[in-house]
Structure 1
Amino acid sequence: MSSRPPRDLWAPISVWGHVWRGLLAAVTGTLLFLVSNDPQFSRPLASWVPFVDLVVGVLSLVLLPLHRRSPLLVPVLLQAMTAVSTSSGGSASVALVSVATRRRWPRIALAGVVAMLASLAVSRIYPEIDPMPTALNVATMVLVLAAQIAWGLYLGARRDLFATWQWRAETAEREQVQRISSAREAERTRIAREMHDVLAHRISLVSMHAGALAYRDDLSREQIRKEATIIQGTSMQALTELRQILGVLRSTPVGEPQDAVEAPQPTFTDADDLVLRALRAGASGFLLKDTPPPQIVQAIHRVRAGEPTLSPSVTQRLIHAVSTRTSDTRQRRASTLVAGLTDRERQIALAIGEGRTNAGIAASLYLSVATVKSHVTHLLTKLEADNRVQIAIRMHDAGLL
C-alpha cells in the first residue's frame, strides 16, 4: 500500500463553481476596465481601444472554464490577453490562482512572468495622466502577482491537507476491517480445531460400534437394536457438529454482516419456502432426518396408498408458514376454487386439512370409506390439486384452516 496519497484528489468543479468564478472574473474585469478608461486616471484613447478591450475580455471569460482541462495553456494565454485588455484581468487572476493551487513551480513561474510582461505592456496602451515611478510601478505589479500566487498556494495546501486526512481515514478504516477479518479467521480456525477433535471422537464411536456389530454374530435382537440406536445417535451428533464446523469455517465477506454467511446445508428451520414449493409441486410428504426407521417405513406405505405423510413438527410449521406467508393472489385463487365446493366436500376438505385419514373422515361424518374416496377424487379435480397435501394447502390459503 502506498504511503502517500495520490495527487489531484480534488473534485471536479461543479456548475456553481464555474458560475461564481465567472462572476468574480467579470466583476473584477469590469472594474479594471472602468478605471483604465476613466479620464481622471488615463489619457484620451483611440476609439477602437475600448472595443478591442471588451472583445478580448469576453473571450477570456469564455476560456476561463477550460483552465482545469488545460492547466498550463489556458492560464498562460489569459495572462497574455491582459497585455491588450484590462477587462480580461479578472479571468487572468482567477487562472493564476488556479495554477498556484497545484503548487507546480515551473508552471507558476511561467504564468507569473507572462503576467508581469503583460502588465508592463498594458501600461503602454493605457498611459496614466500622473504615472508612478517605474520602480514603484513594477514593485506594485510584483506585489499583486505575489498576493495572487500566495493565495493559490494556501488554497492548494488546504486542499491537499483535507485530501490527506480523507485518505488516511479511509486507509485506517480498511486496515481496521482487515484486522477484524484476520482475527475472525484466526478464531474460526481455533474453534474448528477444537470441534474437529470432538467430531473425530464421535466418528470413532460409530466405527467401534459398527465394527462390533460386524464382528459379533452371537448378539441378541435387543443387543443389536441397542447398538444400532447408539450408532444412530452418535451419527446424528457427529452430523450436527460437522455442520457447526462447516459454518464456522465459512468466511464472512469483509464489510458484510455475520448473517451474510450462507449455511452449509438448509434445515427445516430455515427451509419453509423450500418445503412449501415442494408440496405445491406435488410432493406427498416431508419427514425430518431424525425420524425413527419404523415411522419411515410406515410413511412409505402410506404414501404408496395415496395418503400424505408429514412429521408433526413439520405440520405445525407448515400451517404457520402458510397462514403468515400466503399472498393475496393465492388467497383469491383458493377462495374462488373453494367457493365451488358443496357443503359435504367442504367438510371433507377441512378434515383432510386436519390430517385425518379416509377411515377417520368416514367415521366422523357417518359415511362409507368408498364415498369419502369419491369425494376426495372430486376435491382433487375442483381444487386443481395433485394430492391431499395440496387440498390442505388450498383450505389454508382460503383462510378456512
Structure 2
Amino acid sequence: MASATDRNADADPHGAAAMLMTLAADRPSGRSPRRQFAVDLTCLLASVAIPFGYWVALALGHRPFSDTVHWIDLALATLFTPLIWWRRRWPVQISVLLSVVSVVSEYASVAQGIALLTVAIHCRPRATAFAATVWAVTGSVYVVVRPTPDLPYWVSLMFIALLTGGIVAWGSFIRARRALIDSLRDRAQRAEDEQQRRVEQARQLERTRIAREMHDVLAHRISLLSLHAGALEFRPDAPPDEIAKAAGVIRSSAHQALQELRDVIGVLREGTGEVERDRPQPTLGDVPGLVTEARRAGATIDLDVRVDDPDAVPAVTGRTAYRVIQEGLTNARKHANGAAVRVTVSGDRSDGLTVEVRNWLPLRIPETTIPGAGTGIVGLGERIGLVGGRLEHGPSTAGDFRLTAWLPWSAPT
C-alpha cells in the first residue's frame, strides 16, 4: 500500500519536491570540502592531543613517567596517530594498523576509535565486521598485556565488546542517515525535474494549440480580405456601389479578424485556456453562416448537410467539423480561386460524422494565389487525431481536390 507521502507526491509533484528538499537539507552544506577539512582537522587534533600533551609536559621539565613501557607507548602514539588524517583514503588499513599498535599503545586509543568509526561510516558491512573483529581481538590482547588490577578480565572483555558494538552502531547509524538524506535529495531532484518537464510539455502544447487556433481563425478572414482586395485591384472601373459593397465587406472582415485575434492573444496572455472556454466556439450549426460569408466573397459553394439535428451533434465534434470545412474553403480560395466547391456533411450517432469538401482543380495556378504556410492540413490532422478521427486529402481520379474527415459522434473532450 502506498504511503501518504507517496500519494501526495503523485498529486502534487512540486509540493512533494519542496518537502523532500526541506528534509534533505537537514544536513547543511552536505559534504563540502570545507566541512570535510574541518572534520579531518578535528579528528587529527583529538588523536594527537594525548601524546602532544605529554611532549609539552616533557618540554617544560616535567617527568610524567619513567618506565620503558610508557616511553614505547608515547613513541608509537606519536608515530601512528597522525595517520588518522588519511583515514578516508585507506580506512580499513589504518583501522587495523592502529588496532595492532593499540595492543601496547594506550595513547593511540582515540585514533583507534576514530578509525573504526570511519570504517563503519564509509565501508561495506563485511569490511566493518573485519575491522571490528580486529579491534575486539587486539583489545582482548591489550587487557592481557596491560591488565587493570582492580578490574576482572571478563569485565574488561565485556567493556571492549560494548565499546566496539557502540562505535559500529554509531557509524552504521550515520551511514544509514546519510544514505536516507541522499535518497531524499535525489528523489526531490527527480520530482523537480519531472515537474519541470510537465511544465515545459504543457507550455509547448499550449503554444501549439494557440498557433492552430490562430491559423484556423485568421487564415479564413485574411483570405477573404485578400480576395476582395484583389477584386478591387482588377476592377478599378467597377460601379461605385460595388466598390462600396466590397469595401464594406473588407472593413467587416478586418474588424472580425481583429476581434478574433484579440481573443487568441488573450489566451496567450492568460497562459491558460480560460479565455477560449469563455469565448463562444463554433459548432456544426454555424456552418451555413460560414458558407454564406464565403458566398458573399464570390465563391460558388454547394452545401449539403444530411444530419437530422445539427444542434444535437456534440460540441467537440461539431467544432472540429466546422474547422474542417473552414480549412477546406480557405484552401479552395488560396489554390483554386473561382472553382466550384461542394461541402457535404452526413452521419448519425451510430456511424459518426463524415465531412467532405471537394473543389475542381484549376488548369493553371493564377499569379494572385494567396500565400500559405503549408501547415493548415498538418494542424487539422492533429486536431482530428485528438478527437479520434481520420483525415484524408489529395487529388482524386475525377480531377478535383478532396478533403474528407471522419469524426466519432462522441469525441473526447
Higher normalized strand content (fraction of residues) = 2
Q: TM-score range by the shorter chain?
A: 0.3 to 0.5
How high is the TM-score relative to the length of structure 1? 0.47
State the TM-score, normalized to the length of structure 2. 0.45
